């Protein structure tokens, strides 16, 4: 039997989890399960697990899970407030760090420390691709999807196009398998969906608040596969296409995002701060998360009907290996301007081992990189 919890207690719990939830999405999920499901028994475990599963469709699943829990207990307002209180510590910390970074990053000592962080960021990306790939690459077909997305993204094919095409491939294969199993399924694909990726990043040369919001909202629409999928998409959009961030600023923004307890998606907060200060940071963050928040609220409301729907799973079966290819390619592209010395290669190897073999938290490894960069002078 579940136990009632007041909305005030619920929000305080999510604020606490958002303040100490270092270690990525699954670490946060473990905290939510421990504090709210196991200790306080606010909802059945199987319902909580369903929320985690649906939360992986679009956007950061830890944030989506907080929405699901809040909605199931206190409706739309509960879902929005739980996500807000969970994200508040990370967003505030990124804004603070962004202010100091853009004010003082020209100081030589800070530049040296950030130079030491560069190889760690590359290691973080490769370690994410490695750990996710071990779970996601389950067949020769998924391996081929990952490989071709790696090659095509290296050749500068739009990541959004690759994600949508890979997802449609997974959907077709899944439906074909379902048809062989005797199920009769009818699906109509909206033609606008196929045209969407080709017009995704056009008409955004000026960094007005409205265009800032539009660009991040569009990115949020294809935010599949967790926070690390944002790295190649944001890199192409903010660095290569619009020039809102330099290559160095982007690398440092990834590092700063990893220093917070929240999802790496707060990289959008850093980029928004660069363009329009605190207002830009808030606008970009809200815009990026808005599509997944809306979708998760709809899913939470329709939970009883959607829990047995497998179309989403088929689509994600194609998207997930594509994400692996994009992540690895992001590490390759970013490494060109960073791996220029023996120190950088050694730091990359050490960082990768610390992350993969010894499973240290990224913030600790980033601190090691910053200290070594400062002491050894990069």
pLDDT at 190: 41
Mean pLDDT of 348-352: 94
**Ramachandran assignment for 206, one of left (phi > 0), alpha (psi -120 to 50 degrees), beta (any other):** beta
For residues 226-237, average pLDDT = 78
Tokens of 56: 């992986």
- Residue 281 in tokens: 């940071």
Q: What is the pLDDT of residues 103-121, one digit of tens each?
A: 876 556 666 766 788 888 8
Instruction: Judge whether 363 lies within some domain.
Output: yes
> 209-221 vs 267-301: helix axis angle to the nearest 10?
50
Q: What pTM was computed for the model?
A: 0.70
Q: How far apart are CA 335 and CA 250, in angstroms?
A: 12
At 109 the pLDDT is 64
Contact status, residue 260 vs residue 266, Cβ threshold 8 Å: yes
* pLDDT (0 to 100) of residue 62: 87
268-320 pLDDT, tens digit per residue, is: 999 999 999 999 999 999 999 999 999 999 999 988 776 666 676 677 678 77
Residue 80 lies in a domain: yes
In a domain, 2, yes or no: no
On whether residue 304 sits in a domain, the answer given is yes
Please state, in angstroms and rounded to a whole number, the distance separating the CA atoms of residues 65 and 29.
8
Question: Which pLDDT value is given to residue 198?
Answer: 34
Closest CA to 68 of 266, 20, 59, 213: 59
Q: What are phi and psi of 150, to 5 degrees?
A: -60, -50
Residue 322 falls inside a structural domain: yes
HSE at residue 199, side-chain half, CA atoms within 13 A, is 6
Enter the tokens of residue 190. 């909206």
The phi, psi pair for 56, rounded to 5°, reads -90, 5
- With contact defined as beta carbons under 8 Å apart, do 25 and 262 qualify? no
Biggest distance spanned by C-alpha atoms of the chain: 67
> With pLDDT > 70 as the criterion, what percentage of the chain qualifies?
84
| Residue 173, in any domain of the structure | yes
What CA–CA distances, in Å, run from 143 to 128, 133, 148, 330? 16, 9, 9, 18
Q: Summarize pLDDT for 45-70 with one digit per residue, the tens.
A: 888 888 887 787 788 888 999 999 99
Instruction: Quote the pLDDT of residue 191.
Output: 41
The first and second tokens of residue 193, run together, are: 């969906």
Please, are residues 230 and 268 in contact by the beta-carbon 8 Å criterion?
yes
Cβ atoms of 151 and 326 within 8 Å: the answer is no
- Domain membership of residue 77 (yes or no) is yes
Long-range contacts of 339-346 (CB under 8 A, 24+ apart): 339/119, 339/122, 341/378, 343/376, 343/378, 344/118, 344/119, 344/378, 345/119
The answer, yes or no, to whether residue 204 has pLDDT greater than 60, is no
What is the DSSP secondary-structure string of 323-344? HHHHHHHHHHHHHTTT--SHHH
Q: Could you give the CA distance from residue 30 to residue 26 in angstroms, rounded to a whole number?
A: 6
| Residue 124: φ, ψ to 5° | -60, -45
- pLDDT of residue 207 exceeding 70, the answer is no
- Encoded tokens for 116: 């030491």
Domain count of the chain? 1
Q: What is the pLDDT of residue 114?
A: 66
The residue range of the domain holding 55 is 7-376
Asked whether residue 1 is domain-assigned, the answer is no
């Amino acid at each position: 039997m579940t136990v009632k919890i007041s909305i005030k207690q619920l929000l305080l719990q999510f604020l606490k989890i958002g303040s100490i939830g270092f270690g990525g999405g699954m670490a946060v999920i473990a905290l939510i399960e421990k504090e709210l499901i196991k200790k306080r028994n606010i909802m059945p475990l199987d319902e909580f697990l369903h929320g985690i599963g649906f939360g992986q469709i679009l956007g950061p699943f830890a944030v989506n899970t907080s929405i699901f829990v809040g909605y199931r207990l206190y409706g739309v307002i509960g879902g929005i407030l739980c996500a807000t209180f969970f994200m508040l510590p990370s967003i505030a910390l990124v804004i603070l760090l962004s202010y100091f970074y853009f004010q003082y990053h020209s100081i030589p000592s800070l530049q040296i420390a950030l130079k030491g962080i560069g190889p760690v960021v590359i290691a973080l990306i490769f370690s994410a691709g490695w750990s996710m790939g071990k779970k996601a690459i389950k067949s020769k077909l998924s391996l081929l999807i990952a490989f071709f997305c790696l090659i095509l993204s290296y050749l500068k094919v739009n990541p959004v196009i690759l994600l949508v095409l890979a997802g449609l491939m997974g959907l077709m294969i899944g439906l074909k398998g379902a048809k062989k199993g005797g199920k009769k399924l009818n699906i109509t694909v909206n033609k606008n969906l196929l045209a969407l990726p080709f017009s995704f990043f056009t008409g955004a040369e000026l960094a007005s608040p409205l265009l800032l919001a539009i660009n991040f909202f569009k990115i949020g629409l294809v935010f599949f596969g967790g926070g690390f999928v944002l790295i190649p998409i944001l890199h192409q959009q903010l660095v290569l296409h619009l020039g809102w961030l330099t290559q160095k600023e982007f690398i440092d923004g990834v590092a700063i995002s990893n220093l917070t307890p929240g999802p790496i998606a707060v990289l959008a907060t850093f980029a928004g701060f660069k363009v329009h200060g605190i207002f830009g940071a808030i606008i970009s963050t809200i815009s990026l998360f808005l599509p997944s928040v809306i979708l998760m609220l709809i899913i939470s409301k329709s939970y009883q009907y959607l829990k047995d729907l497998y179309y989403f799973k088929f689509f994600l079966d194609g998207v997930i290996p594509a994400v692996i290819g994009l992540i690895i390619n992001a590490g390759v592209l970013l490494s060109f301007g960073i791996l220029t010395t023996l120190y950088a290669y050694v730091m990359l190897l050490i960082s990768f081992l610390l992350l993969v073999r010894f499973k240290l938290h990224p913030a600790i490894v980033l601190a090691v990189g910053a200290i070594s960069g400062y002491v050894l002078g990069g």
